[in-house]
Structure 1
Amino acid sequence: MLCERRESPGVVPKFYQHALAIAFAINEINKNPKILPNITLGFHICDSYSNLWMTYRTTLNLLSKRLRFVPNYECDGKKSLLAVIGGLGSDTSVLMADVLGLYKIPQFTYGSLAPGEIHTSQHPYLYHMVPTEDPQYMGIIRLLQHFRWIWVGMFVVDNESGEHFVQTMELLFSQNGICSAFVQRIPQQPNLDDLDETVVEVLLKIYEPLTNQKASACIVYGESVTMVWLRTLIFLQDQENIRYSEYRKVWITTTQIDFILTGPQKYWDLQMFEGAIAFMIHQKDLLQFGEFVQPIKPGWNERDGFLKDFWEQIFDCFFGETIPDSEKCTGEEKLAGLPEPLFGMHLTGHSYSIYNAIYVLAHTFHEKYTSRLRQKTMIENPDVLLQHLQPWQLHPFLQRLSFNNTEGETVSFNEKREIGGGFDIMNVVIFPNNSFHQVKIGRVIPGALEGDEVVIDWDSIVWHRGFNKVVPISVCNEYCHPGFQKKSKEGEKFCCYDCVLCPAGRISNQTDMDDCFKCPEDEYPKENKNGCLPKLVIFLSYEEPLGWSLVSVALSFSLITAWVIGLLMKHKDTPIVKANNRDLTYTLLISLLLCFLSSLLFLGRPGKLSCLLQQPAFGIIFTVAVSCVLAKTITVVMAFMATKPGSNMKKWLGRRTANCIVLSCSLGQLGICSVWLGTSPPFPAFDMQSLSEEIIELCNGGSVIMFYLVLSYMGFLSLICFMLAFLARKLPDSFNEAKFITFSMVVFCSVWGSFVPAYLSTKGKQMVAVEIFSILASSAGLLICIFAPKIYIILLRPELNTKEQIRRWKNK
C-alpha cells in the first residue's frame, strides 16, 4: 500500500498530478506481464493538510487496522503496507520517518531536501528519489557569476530549511565575490482570511525589496506555496495595477518551487515572472501520461476523493442539484489546453520522481519474487507473497537495485540512498493568456568535475520584456570601467564600492577589477590607463639630429687634427716644432685623433664588439694622450733643472725618458682594462625601467667599479699633469708649453669633473650623448689649448719661429 501527501490545505489543482502519476505508473505495471505477473498493486492517498498533528495521525493510521485506530493491534484484516512515498517537504518527511523508521518501512521522498535536514544515519530506511540541494547551490553561484550579478536579493520561507539556505548561500556568496542585497523571510503558511498586524508588517517589509532597482536578480527559496504567498503580497500591495505591474526582476527559483495557480490567483497576471530561471528536478516527458489523463472526467473512479474538488476549482463550477445551470459542472470540460500553472498534461519533476518511485518498488518486488523462484520456495498463490512479505525484507534489494526505466534512464541508489540525475535548469516563457512554457536551457550534474557541474545555453535565455532584450544588471553600483579600480565604502558590504583612477604606472583592462596592475616590462600604460602599449626601443643612432650632429663634430675635429699633424710634419725642422720633443707631439696628436674617432663607437645600435671596445678604447687612448701631456710637462721641468750649475739632469733629458713615462702610464690603464674585460666585460643590454615609455638599448658596463676605476686613473694622471704644469708655467725656457698645458688640463678636468653628475642624472640616449660630448670636449680642449699657439706662430707669425727670436726670448 502506498501513500502520497499533498503540501497545502485543500486541493491544489496542479498537485493533483502527483496522484495521477501514481495511478498512471501502477496502471502501467499492472498491465505489464514482465513485471510482477499475476500480482496487482494498489495504493492509498492521504493528506496531512500541512499540519504536524495530522501528519503523525495519518502515518499512524496507515499502521492500524482498517476500521479502528489501534496501532500494532491485528485482530482482523490488516492493510498490507509495504512502502510509503512522501513527503514533498522536509518537515513532513522527517515526521513520517520518525514513525515509519520504527517499523523499518521503506520511505521514498520525491522532493529535493537540504543537506543535514534528514540525517542518513538517523533515518536508515529513507530513500531519496532526487539528489539533495547541494548541487543546486553551486548551480545558482555559477549562474550569478556568469552574468556578474553580485547584488542579489533573497526571498526565503521562514522555517529551518530557509534559515539553512540563507546560511549556506551567504557563505558561498562571500567565497565568490557576491553579496546579498536583502534577505526577506516569507511566512510558511499564508493566512489571507485575517489580515492581522503580522501580514501588514510583512507587506511593509516586502515592498522595499520588490522595488529595489539595483537588485535585479532575486532568489526565491521555499515551496510552491511560498510563491503563492509572494504573489499574494504583491497583489495586496498593488491591487489596481496588478495585471500591468512592472516588477522587473530575474526570479531564480529553487527545486521545490513550481508555478501554480490556485483560488483567486487564477485571474492574476503572471507576467512579472516572465524570464524566470527555475532549477527543477530532472524530468522526462512521457507521452503516454497525457493519453492517460486526457479522458479523465468526474466519476471516472469512485474512490478518487480529490477529483470533485479538483474539477470545481479548475473549471470554476460546482456539483449539486441546487446549483444554477450557469455555474454547474457539466463533466464535459476538457483538461487539455488548460494553462500550465493550473494543470499540466506533462509530468513535472516531482511527478516524474513519484513515477520512478513506483517503478523502484515494482522492480524490488519483482526481484524478491524471482529470488523466491530461484530458491524453489515459491508459494503456489502469488498473492500470498505480499501477505507474507515484510517491509524490512525489501532493503537489501533496494540497496543493490539498478534498472532502466521506460525512458531508458538508469535508476539506482548511491551509498547515501539517493538517486542521481541532477537538476534541469528551465527558462519560464509566459504567454499573454497567462499560460507559460518552460524551456530547458541547461543542467546541473552532480559529481562532475569542477567547472563542468553546470551546463547552460546562455544565449537561449529569454528575459523579462522590461529589460528590452538586454542582459540584466544586478549590482550595488555601476561597474568600474577599465582604467579604474574598486575602493570599498566604509560601513557597507564589499559589493558596494567607489571607482578610483588607477595610480601612476598601473592599469586595469577589465571592468570591476579589485586592483590595478603594472604592465609587462616591455610595455607602458595608455593615457587612460585601460591597457598597455609596446615601448619604443631607443638608442643614439646616426640618423637622428643629435647623432649626426655629434658625428659631424667628431669628424670635423678629426680632420682638423689630421691637418695639424700634416702642418707640423711640414714644419718639422722649425724650432717651435722641434722644441719639447717632436715625437711626443706627434704621439699626442695621433692619440687625440683616435679620441675623436673613438666617440663614433658609442653611436648606433649596440653590438657585442662595439660594447667590448667602447670604454676600454676610450680609456686607453685618453690615457696615452694624458701621458703624452704629462711627459711634455715633466720634460719642461727637467729641462729647467738641467740649466742649473752642477745639475745631473741633462742625462735624463731625451726621448727615452719621455717614452718611458708614456709607456708606463699607458700600461697601467691597459692593465685595468684587461682585468675589466677578463672579469666582467661590457655587453649589449636593454634598460626597461629607467624610462616609462621607452626601452633603452645600451651597453651594460658589466662592472661599475672598473668603469669608475678607469676614469679615476685617467683623472689621477690629469691632476698630476695639471699640478706640474701650473708650477712650471713661468719657467724661463724657450717655447715653454707649461702655461698652455695648464689651460688644457683645466679644461680637461672641468669636463670630466662635470661628466660624473651629468652621466648619473641622464637616461637613455642623453646618457650616451653626455659621454660622447665629454670625449669630444676634452679632446678639443687639449688640441686647442696646446696646439693653437703653435699653429698661430707657424702660419701667422713665422718671423717668431727662428733661433734668434728664441735666444732673444730666453735672454729677457
Structure 2
Amino acid sequence: MILNRLIWIVITKNYQHILALIFAVKGINENHQLLPNVTLGFHIYESYSKEWWTYQATMELLSTRNKFIPNYKCGIRNNLISVIGGLHSQISLSMANILGTYKVPQFTYGSAPGMNESIESVPFYQMALNEDYQYKGILLLFLHFRWIWVGILAKNDENGERFVQTMSTVFLQHGTCVAFLERLNIIYHPKDLVWLTKMYHIVMKSNASVVVVYEKSILHLRWLLHLPEMGMVTMKPKGKVWIMTAQMELTSLHYQRSWDIQTIHGALSFTIHSNNILGYQNFIQSRNPSSVKEDIFLREVWEQVFNCVWPNSGLGKVKGDICTGMENLENLPGAFFEMNMIGHSYSIYNAVYAVAHALHAVQMHQMQHRAVVNGGRLSLWDIQPWQLHQFLRRVHFNNTAGDEVYFNQNGELVAGFDIINWVTFPNQSFLRVKVGKLDLQAPPDKMFTIHGDAITWHKSFNQVLPLSVCTESCHPGYSKRKQEGKPFCCYDCIPCPEGKISSQKDMDNCLKCPDDRYPTQKQDICIPKDISFLSYKEPLGIILAVLALLFSLFTALVLRVFLRYQDTPIVKANNQELTYALLVSLLLCFLCTLLFIGPPTKVLCLVRQTTFGIVFSVAVSCVLAKTITVVLAFMATKPGSRMRKWVGKRLSNSIVLSCSLIQASICAVWLATSPSFPDANMDAQSTEIVLECNEGSSSMFYCVLGYMGFLAIVCFSVAFLARKLPDSFNEAKFITFSMLVFCSVWISFVPTYLSTKGKHMVAVEIFSILASTAGLLGFIFFPKCYIIVLRPELNKKEQLIRKKSCKI
C-alpha cells in the first residue's frame, strides 16, 4: 500500500486507513477457511504527495527486498500480488505508469482517477465510484430541494477544472445557475490570506444559500471560515449549506484544535458507502504505542491527537503534556479520529478481502486441476500478478458487515454513495447522520432517496428548508421576466395580462384560459363561466315580459273598445278594417317580444327575428295605408278630382299586402341562405357564456331593419305633409307624432345595440320593440279612446262636418 502524507503536516484521521488495512489482513490470516496455510503481508510506503517519491516507492515494490534494483529479482524477494494506491487520484495515476507495464492489479480507494489515452488500459479496480456519479447525485439533490442558485468553490487544478466544466454544463441543462465560482489554492504564506479574504466576502455577500466545495480536504474551507476568528474580516459568517464530495472528510490538524466547526453545521456530504465491521472498535481500542512496537506511525499520531510529547532523555525538559500511552482514543473529537470505520477505510478493507477471495478462487482452481507442488501441498508462490485479474473480475462475496462486494465490467465496485448530514457541537465533536443514498442498482425512481425531515440545517435557517434562489419565487398570477445582464435564474415577477393565468410558482409564461373558463381576480386559476341568457327568472326578463303582457292587454282593450263602438262615427272614419288590422299587428308586436326571452332554441332562433320583421312591417304598412287614405280622401273632395277612384279598401289592402310581402320575401331569402341558429358566445362576456341566437347573416338582419325604417320614413313624410288637412278626426298629425317616436327609437337602437354585449343586446331589441309599438298605440289610438270612452258627446256625425272653409 502507498500512502500520501505530508511530512510536516499529519492528518491524523487518515491513520484509520492503515488500521483498516491491518485489521483486514489480520482477519484474513486468522480465517483458516478463506486462505488456509497462507499468510498475507503488506508493505506501506509514503509518497509525501510528491510524484518522484511515488515513482520510487512503486519501483521498490518491484525490486528485491531492501535493494533498489528495478526489473531484477534475486535473493529474498517480495511476492507482490496487488497494490492499493493513495487517497488522491494523482498518486494512483503516477503508480499506473509503472504498474501498468507489469499488469499488477491496482486498487484505488479514493476518488476515481480521470483516465487518459496513455493509461486507459491500466487494470484499475476502483473501490470508489467514478466522480461522474457524484455529479449526478449533486444535481438530483438540487432538483429535490429546488436549489437553483448555488456557489462553487473548486480546487485550482486539473480535476477542479473538470469538475467546474462538468457541473456548469449539467446545471445549465437543468435550470440551475452558478452564483459565484472561486478557486481554492494551497496556503503557503500569510500573504495568501489576502485572496482568501476576498473570497470570504464574495461567498458571504452572495444570496446563494448553497455552496458546493470540491477539494481534496476540508482544510482550505476551514481556513476560509476561520478568518473572522483571526480578525482578518469583520463580516460575520452567514449560514450556508455546504455540499461536500466524497474525498472530503471533516478533519483537523493539530493547530486547528480550537477552531470552531459550528460554521459547517448542517453540511451535506456524499460519502463512500460504509458499514460497521464487527470487532473493529475493539481492535482500535487495543492499540497503543506501548503494546504495538512495529507501528511506526502510531507514536507520531498519538502526539498529534492528544497534543502531548513522548518522553526523550536526550531532549531534557520538554514543554507541554507528556504522553503516557494510556490516553483513550474514544475521547477524541471526530475531526481528529473516529472509532467507526468510515468510507475510505471501508474501501481499503473491502479491497484486501477482494484480493483474499481472488486468491481463494486461485486455490480452488488449482485444486480442481490437481496442481500439486511442494510435496503435495498447494502453493500460491508461482502465481503471477497478471494472472490474478481473471479471478478478481469474478469476485463476488459478502463481507463481514453483510454488504455485497463485486466489480462491474469496468472494474468499478458496484456500490453507491451515502448522503451524510454533519451535526457539529462546540466541543469539536460531530455526528454523521445518514439522511439519504444514491443507489445505482435501484430502479430509476428509487435510485436517489433523501429524507428531508431528518436533516439538521444550520441554525440560521431555524430548521426551515433553506431557499437558494437569485430572486424570490413568482407566485401564481405572475410570470417570470429575465433581468437584463444576469443569469436566467434572476428574473422579475410581472402580473399576468388580462385573460391569462399562472397556476404554479415561477412559470415562464402565463396561459390563456379555455373558452369556457375565465381567470379569477388573482389570475391563479381558471373557473367555469356562468351560463347567461335573458331569462324569465331574472329581474330584467321579468320586467320586460310584464311590460309586453301589459301593453298586449292595453292593445286588446283598445281593440275591444273599437269592436264595441264599431258603429260610432269615429270608429268608422279612416277605414275601419285598417284600424282592426293595425291593432292586431300591434298586439302581435307586443307578444313577439316573448320569443326573445328564455334559452335560445333552434325553432325560436328561426322564427323570432322573421316574425318580428314581418309583424312590424304589417303594422307600419297599415299606418302608411291609413296615412295615404287620409291624403287621398281630402284630395278626392276637390271638384272633378280623379282621385276618387283610388279611395277605397282596394288601395289600402294593396299597400298593406305589397309592403308586407316585400318584407316576407326578404325574410324568406334570409332563412334560405343563412338562417339564425343557437350559439354559445364565449367572447361576449369575460365571465359568462352567453347563449344567444347567431343571426347567421348580419347583412340580412340589417336589411329587415332597413326596410322597416324605409316604410317608417315614407309614412312619417306623408303624415307630416297631411298633418294640417282640415278635419276634426284627421289622424295625420297623430300618425306624425307616432312615427316620429318610432323613427327616434330605431335610429337610437342601432348604436345602442352595437355597443352592448350578451343578453343586454336582446334586452335592447325588446325595449325598442316595446317602445316603438307603444308609441304607435298611444299616439294613434289614445285620443280616439279618450273621445269614445270619456267624451261620447264628441263621437257624433256632425262633428265630422266643419263649417270652416279650407283650401286644398
TM-score, normalization by structure 2:
0.88
Task: Give yes or no for contact 2:663–2:707 (8 Å, CA) kept in 1.
Answer: no
What is the CA deviation profile of residues 588-609 of structure 1, one whole-angstrom value per residue up to 9, with x for unaligned ones?
2222222222223333555666
Q: Deviations over 1:616-643 (max 9, x none)?
A: 4433432333343355456567767888
Instruction: After TM superposition, give the deviation of residue 361 of structure 1 in Å.
Output: 1.7
Does the aligned pair in 2 maintain the 1:97–1:123 contact within 8 Å?
no
**Any residues of structure 2 matched to 1:85-484 within 5 Å, and which?**
85-113=84-112, 116-117=114-115, 122-187=120-185, 189-191=186-188, 194-195=189-190, 197=191, 199-212=192-205, 214-224=207-217, 227-239=218-230, 246-298=237-289, 300-322=291-313, 327-379=321-373, 385-446=379-440, 452-484=446-478
| Alignment-derived partner of residue 17 in structure 1 | 16
Could you give the per-residue CA deviations for residues 133-171 of structure 1, whole angstroms, max 9, x where no partner exists? 223223323333444433322221111111111122222
Letter in 1 for 2:70: P
Query: Counterpart of 1:563?
Result: 557
The answer to whether the aligner puts 1:657 opposite 2:651 as a matched pair is no
Mapping 1:493-512, distance limit 5 Å = 493-508=487-502, 510-512=504-506
Secondary structure of the 2:436 match is: strand
Question: 2:595·2:608 contact (CA, 8 Å) conserved in 1?
Answer: yes
**Partners of 1:651 and 1:462 in 2: CA distance:** 107
Q: 1:278 to 1:445 in 2, by over 3 A?
A: same
Flag the 1:612–1:210 CA change in 2: closer, same or farther, 3 A.
Answer: same
Sort the Cα spacing of 1:624 and 1:314 in 2 relative to 1 into closer, same or farther, 3 A: same
Show the counterpart of 1:31: 30
**Cα separation, 1, equivalents of 2:110 and 2:528:** 59
Contact 2:606 2:671 in 1 (8 A): no
645 and 692 in structure 1: CA distance in 2 versus 1, 3 angstrom threshold: closer
SS for the counterpart of 1:437 is strand
Contact (CA 8 Å) 1:733, 1:810: kept in 2 or not?
A: no
1:71-82 aligned at under 5 Å gives the runs 71-82=70-81
> Partner amino acid for 2:154?
V
Q: What is aligned with 2:741?
A: 747
Task: Say whether the 8 Å CA contact 1:734–1:809 is kept in structure 2.
Answer: no
**What is the CA deviation profile of residues 391-411 of structure 1, one whole-angstrom value per residue up to 9, with x for unaligned ones?**
222233333443333333332
Residue of structure 1 equivalent to 2:680? 685
**Residue 341 of structure 1: CA displacement?**
1.8
The verdict on how the C-alpha distance between 1:757 and 1:650 changes in structure 2, with shifts beyond 3 A counting, is: closer
Gaps of 5+ in 1: none
Q: Which moved more, 1:611-620 or 1:34-43?
A: 611-620
Secondary structure in 2 matching 1:309:
helix
Q: Partner letter of residue 161 of structure 2? A: E
Q: Is the 8 A contact 1:151 1:475 kept in 2?
A: yes
Residue identity opposite 2:88 in structure 1? G
The CA deviation string for residues 246-282 of structure 1, in whole angstroms up to 9 with x for no partner, is: 5422211111101012221123221111111111111
SS of alignment partner, residue 685 of structure 1: strand
* Equivalent position SS for 1:238: helix
How far has the Cα of 1:561 moved from its partner? 0.8
Cα distance change on mapping 1:450 and 1:638 into 2, 3 Å: farther
What secondary structure sits across from 1:387 in the alignment? coil
User: How far apart, CA to CA, are the structure 2 residues paired with 1:452 and 1:811?
Assistant: 113
In 2, Cα distance between equivalents of 1:509 and 1:674:
46
Q: Secondary structure at the match of 1:406?
A: coil
Letter in 2 for 1:766: H
For the 8 Å contact 2:228–2:236, the answer to whether it is kept is: no
The within-5 A match list for 1:674-713 is 674-675=671-672, 680-683=675-678, 685-687=680-682, 689-713=683-707
In 1, Cα distance between the equivalents of 2:626 and 2:530? 49
Paired residue type of 2:23? F
- Superimposed CA distance per residue, residues 14-55 of structure 1 (whole angstroms, 9 cap, x where no aligned partner): 111111112222222223333232222222222211112212
Contact 2:363 / 2:378 at 8 angstroms: preserved in 1? no
1:391-441 Cα distance to aligned partner (Å, 9 max, x none): 222233333443333333332322332223221111111123211111111
The 8 Å contact of residues 618 and 656 in structure 2, kept in 1 or not, is answered as no
Say if 2:13 and 2:335, in contact at 8 Å, map to a contact too: yes
Alpha-carbon spacing, 1:636–1:477, altered in 2? closer, same or farther (3 Å): same
- The answer as to whether partners of 1:293 and 1:345 remain within 8 angstroms in 2 is yes
Superposed CA offset, 1:213-233 (max 9, x none):
623222111122xx1122134
Contact in 1 for aligned 2:502/2:511 (Cα 8 Å): yes
**Correspondence list, 1:731-742, <5 A:** 737=731, 740-742=734-736
> Is the 2:204–2:238 Cα contact (8 Å) retained in structure 1?
yes
The amino acid across from 1:211 in the alignment is M
* Matches of 2:347 and 2:412, distance apart in 1: 12
Q: Is the 8 A contact 1:82 1:390 kept in 2?
A: yes
- In structure 2, relative to structure 1, the CA distance for the partners of 1:628 and 1:88 (3 Å cut) is farther
User: In the aligned structure 2, how far is the partner of 1:746 from the partner of 1:381?
Assistant: 138
SS in 1 for 2:178: strand
8 Å CA contact 1:747, 1:781 repeated in 2 = yes
Q: Distance in 2 between matches of 1:506 and 1:588?
A: 54
**Residues 381 and 357 from structure 1, CA distance in 2 versus in 1: closer, same or farther, beyond 3 angstroms?**
farther
Aligned length, in residue pairs: 798
SS in 2 for 1:397: helix
Q: What is the letter of the counterpart of residue 197 of structure 2?
A: L
Rounded to whole Å, the distance in 2 between the matches of 1:603 and 1:466 is 67
In structure 2, distance between residues paired with 1:381 and 1:276: 61
- Alpha-carbon distance between aligned partners in 1 of 2:39 and 2:463, rounded to the nearest angstrom: 54
1:619/1:669 contact within 8 Å kept: no
Residue 509 to residue 51, structure 1, CA distance change in 2 (3 Å) = same
CA RMSD of aligned residues (A): 3.5
Amino acid across the alignment from 1:158:
N
Give the CA deviation at 1:460: 1.2
Residue identity matched to 1:175: Q
Pair 180,805 (structure 1): closer, same or farther in 2 beyond 3 Å = same
Instruction: Kindly provide the amino acid, as one letter, of the partner of residue 205 in structure 1.
Output: K
Contact 1:120–1:416 under 8 Å retained in 2? no
CA–CA distance in structure 1, aligned partners of residues 402 and 2 of structure 2: 25
Give the SS at the match of 1:386.
coil
Residues 509 and 671 of structure 1: is their aligned pair in 2 closer, same or farther, counting only changes over 3 Å? closer
Q: Secondary structure at the match of 2:766?
A: helix
Name the amino acid aligned to 1:421: A
